A and B are shown apart, each in its own frame.
Chain A
Amino acid sequence: MKEKATQINLPLNRAEGDLEVLLEVKDGRLEDAWSSGTMFRGFEDMMKGRGALDGLVVTPRICGICSLTHLTAAVEALDKLSGVRPPDNAYRLRNIALMVETVQSDVRHSILMFMVDMVNEMAYQHFNMFAEAKFRYSPMQGAMANEVIRETKRLLKIIAIIGGQWPHTSFMVPGGVTSIPDQTKILQCTMIIKKFISWYEKNILGCSLARWGEVANNDDLDNWLEESIEHRESEVGFMLRFLRMAGLDLIGSGPNRYLCFGNFPLPDKTDVTGINGKLLAAGYAEGTAVDEFSDDLISEDVSHSWYEQQDEPLHPFEGGTVPSAVSNENGRYSWVKAPRYDGKVVETGPLAEMIVNRNPLFVDLVERQGSSVLSRQLARLVRPALLLPNLMKWLEEVAQDPEAPFYEKVGAIPDGQSAGLVQAARGALGHWIKVVDERITHYQVITPTAWNGSPRDRQKNRGAWEEALIGTEIKNEENPIEAGHIVRSFDPCLVCAVHTVKK
């Protein structure tokens, strides 16, 4: 970015090059950051002219770890376009599958992608917890890393039982689901979940889901940590202690504005309670003040992205995705667009979900000091504790009512436009579709990583994690691990590389 600057290829782990963050360090602090998505795959272009249902097959292939979430967004848009309300059992199976995908992603990201950075020798070998971190998280060898691979693999069997395979099934269709699982198969799913819950309680929480549910503020959290050796040695306990020692409770504060699209539509008859027909409410929060969410306030700015320019930021029903030359002229530096809500930079993810849904623990943490690496990671690691009991209830309800329908017939998809808005593991995910004569004429996708990892907009406002990086102290420019932790706490759906400009 600066003519005389030297670029040095500096480490952020698992660097393969789809995401490169250029850092500018001055006097040991991050002065500026540019986050660049370095790959263009053109999915929205591929969708044009395809059959109306093809989003169900093509869009899961956008992402291998949240493919079922794309399927959920695609089918929600088609349900709405068809004017159909799927039967209760269809909602239950869809929600069960989406929860399973979310839970595996939360646990895998926390252990395999985030905590593995605590094995960084240069940064942490002097910590007395380092040997234990190495024992737990070393790739392919760490005890917890291997357990996570084994346990999440077993958990994902549920999606295969319900939907045929994971990843990349298309068992959700407008009007419901394609499968009608036998009662014995539902029972099998119940056994898998029970086993997973007991593993999660023993290893991740170190206590029961119910005990964890009592932790309602920062003081509770401290008391919980002190309460027993099981709590301290659990993954949550170990993460809290390590991250606090590394000062990660104090860095990585984002825009302090949070977006959640809401998730898990409730069946008409269910014991699961929620807000406005969903288990998780949609909303937008400035700090911890929650406001209503409106799709109309979303726009995408491409002023710093490698796309054909537009006069103004456009709503995804209007905006296009036409690539232009890859050059850094005119300050353009990324294939990621800059989505904004009411013109503002927001963050999304498990923490945003907690804030918008008024979870007392996370409201307290954020009211004390805004968001941080620790609050984001903690929200991710404990989110399964909130989801799993509902998953069990929905399985029981399907088992009680196996003869009820799973699909309501839908004919040709009518002309029109529609949006499917859901929560992926990483945050708000939207699909916007237009159909004419049973063909797709327009398809736009905004992923959570676009919200969190966007480049600047025309007002020069940085994207959420660009902003979260600013001012961070970098102890060792050869190993800017702090920057890595911050970006990873947003769970980027890309592997990243960091370059540093020295000043």
Chain B
Amino acid sequence: MVTAYWLQGGGCGGDTFSFLSSESPNVLDLFDALDVSLLWHPSLSNGTAAEHDTLLDEILSKKRSLDILIFEGAAICGPDGSGRFDLKDGKPKISLIKDLAHVASYVVAVGTCASFGGFGAEKLIEAKGLQFTKKEKGGLLGKKFKSKSGLPVINLAGCPCHHDVISGAVSAIASGLSLELDEYQRPLEWFNTTVHQGCTRNEYHEYRVEESSFGEMGCLFFHMGCNGPLVPGPCNKVLWNQQSSKPRAGVPCFGCTDPEFPFQRPFFKTPNIEGVPISLPIGINRAHYLVYKTMAAAAAPEHLKKRTKKV
């Protein structure tokens, strides 16, 4: 049996509700077939508070082993580093987070708030991720933190994190698979392709047929603020709710797996210089890109220019 404990800090619970929509594996199979025992989940468990306190005592005193700590929401450190903007039983929640992280074999940050601080990272609540604050390594637990398994915090980025990433990561850990991590400690299994991969608007992107107003058929990257080519994530490869993704429904990707999310610049707008986005797809040369896109636009087939192709 693999034991897991789900802790929430400063967040909306969106990762929990995303998780309930997971398909491979789905939540019930995950616990049943993989023999994962969820010792506690704040929204699902029905043990009494006294039983919960006993459980926490047993885990912290190592009488009961904790294989996976799953942390959702940001570590709220304000005001002035005291953590008193988020209390449990009158004590800052951040001390409980630290204590649990040090006894767990694996520590999983689920969602961008838990991974990188997310909402409130640059503002007065002093939100931190477990091992990063935005792109800066450190976070609540410090640069050198490693859980008992020897791994640093595993960051399942996303706002919310994609449901199949959560259930996939938990099942991988429970099955003893090793997960390779990128520079921001996101598993390459789900974060080595961009959100752009698999987008049904890719033909429009290829020939630079741009959407400049909602509801047009076209690529959302050039004007509408889409971050699909800029950030890693599986949204167009493993579909949301087994159905779709935001770009497929005409909503730009907001780049929610990026350590800097939510960006301070306005959403729904692409910052650009003479029509060319300032941020270009990962790893691309600006001059080459300009030439390529100018030629591509000239070569666009009529059915795309007329936007008759569904997305």
Which of A10-18, A349-357, A374-382 forms contacts with chain B? A10-18
Roughly how many angstroms separate A160 CA and B18 CA in the complex, as a whole number?
12
Pairwise interchain contact A9-B120, C-beta atoms closer than 8 A? no
- Known A51-B268, A171-B249; contact A39-B119, beta-carbon cutoff 8 A: no
Instruction: Count how many chain B residues have C-beta atoms less than 8 Å from C-beta atoms of the other chain.
Output: 75
Give 7 CB contacts A-B under 8 Å.
A39-B87, A42-B125, A51-B265, A120-B46, A163-B251, A171-B251, A409-B213
Q: Are A179 and B20 in contact (CB under 8 A)?
A: no
Given contacts A41-B76, A53-B268, 15 further A-B contacts (CB under 8 A): A39-B85, A41-B10, A41-B125, A42-B85, A42-B120, A45-B124, A46-B119, A54-B266, A157-B242, A160-B242, A165-B246, A170-B251, A175-B214, A407-B213, A499-B89
Residues of B within 8 A of A (CB): 7-8, 10-18, 20-21, 26-28, 31, 38, 41-53, 76, 78-79, 84-89, 93, 119-120, 123-125, 159-160, 213-215, 235, 239-251, 254, 256, 262, 264-269, 310
Please, how many angstroms separate the alpha-carbon atoms of A45 and B93 in the complex?
A: 22
Task: Give every chain A residue within 8 A of B86 (Cβ-Cβ).
Answer: 38-40
Q: How far is the CA of A348 from the CA of B302 in the complex (A)?
A: 55
Given A14-B46, A166-B21, A180-B250, A150-B28 contact (CB < 8 Å): yes
A142: nearest residue on chain B (CB-CB)?
Answer: B46
Nearest A residue to B18 via CB reads: A167
**Nearest residue, chain B, Cβ from A335:** B85
For residue A45, give the distance in angstroms from its CB to the closest CB of chain B: 6
Interface residue? A63 (CB, 8 A): yes
* A156: interface (CB < 8 Å): yes
Q: Give the residues in chain B near A50, CB-CB below 8 Å.
A: 264, 266
Chain A residue numbers with a CB within 8 Å of B50 are 9-11, 478
The one of A45, A146, A166, A171 that contacts B241, using a Cβ cutoff of 8 Å:
A166
The interface bits of chain A over 127-165 (1 if a CB of B lies within 8 angstroms of the residue's CB, else 0) are 000000000011110000010011011001101111111
Give the distance to chain B from A88, nearest Cβ to Cβ, in Å: 14
Kindly supply a per-residue 1/0 record for chain A positions 82-123, scoring 1 wherever the CB is within 8 Å of any chain B CB and 0 otherwise. 000000000000000000000000000000110011011010
Q: Which among A41, A56, A113, A173 is the interface contact of B119 at CB below 8 angstroms?
A: A41
Q: A180, B215: Cβ atoms under 8 Å?
A: yes
Number of residues of chain A lying within 8 A (CB) of chain B: 86
Q: Is the CB of A14 within 8 A of B123?
A: no
Chain B residues positioned under 8 Å from A209 (CB to CB): none
Contact A15 B249 (CB under 8 A): no
A-B pairs, top 4 by smallest CB distance, nearest first, are A51-B266, A64-B14, A11-B48, A178-B250
In the assembled complex, A291 has its CB within 8 A of some CB on chain B: no
A140 pairs with B28, CB closer than 8 A: yes
Cα–Cα distance between A447 and B18 once the two chains are bound (Å): 22
State which residues 1-39 of A face B: CB under 8 Å.
9-18, 20, 38-39
Query: What is the distance, in angstroms, from B14's C-beta to the closest C-beta of chain A?
Result: 3
| Interchain CA distance A161-B18 in the complex, whole Å | 16
Assess whether B251 is in contact with A169, with CB atoms less than 8 Å apart: yes
User: Could you tell me the dominant secondary structure of chain B's interface residues?
Assistant: loop
CA distance A113 to B41 in the complex (A): 12
Q: Inside 8 A of A152's CB, which chain B residues have their CB? A: 20
Kindly state the separation between the CA atoms of A86 and B53 in the bound complex, as whole angstroms: 52
Q: A16 near B46 (CB under 8 angstroms)? A: no
- CB <8 Å contact, B247 and A61: no
Determine if A168 and B160 form an interchain contact, defined as CB atoms under 8 angstroms apart.
yes
Question: A122–B38 Cα gap in the complex (Å)?
Answer: 22
Q: Encode A50-94 as 1/0 by CB contact (under 8 A) with B.
A: 111110111001111101000000000000000000000000000
- B38: nearest chain-A partner, CB-CB: A140
Supposing A14-B45, A116-B46 touch, asked if A157 and B215 sit within 8 A by C-beta, the answer is no
In angstroms, Cα B19 to Cα A140, docked, is: 13
Q: Is the CB of A9 within 8 A of B89?
A: yes
- Nearest-neighbour CB distance to chain B for A102, whole angstroms, equals 14
Q: Is the CB of B12 within 8 A of A146?
A: no
Residue pair B249, A162 in contact (C-beta under 8 Å):
yes
**B250:A17 contact, CB within 8 angstroms:** no
Give the shortest distance, in Å, between A85 (CB) and chain B (any CB). Answer: 16
Shortest Cβ distance from residue B46 to the other chain A in the assembled complex, whole angstroms:
5
A406 near B: Cβ within 8 Å? yes
Can you name the residue of chain A whose Cβ is closest to the Cβ of B120? A42
Instruction: Among A41, A53, A325, point to the contact of B120 (Cβ < 8 A).
Output: A41
A243 at the interface (CB under 8 A from B): no
Q: Cβ of A390 < 8 Å from any Cβ of B?
A: no
With the chains together, A152 CA to B240 CA distance in Å?
Answer: 15
Question: Known contacts A46-B119, A63-B12, A64-B16: does B243 contact A157 (CB below 8 Å)?
Answer: yes
- A439 to B238 alpha-carbon distance, docked (Å): 35
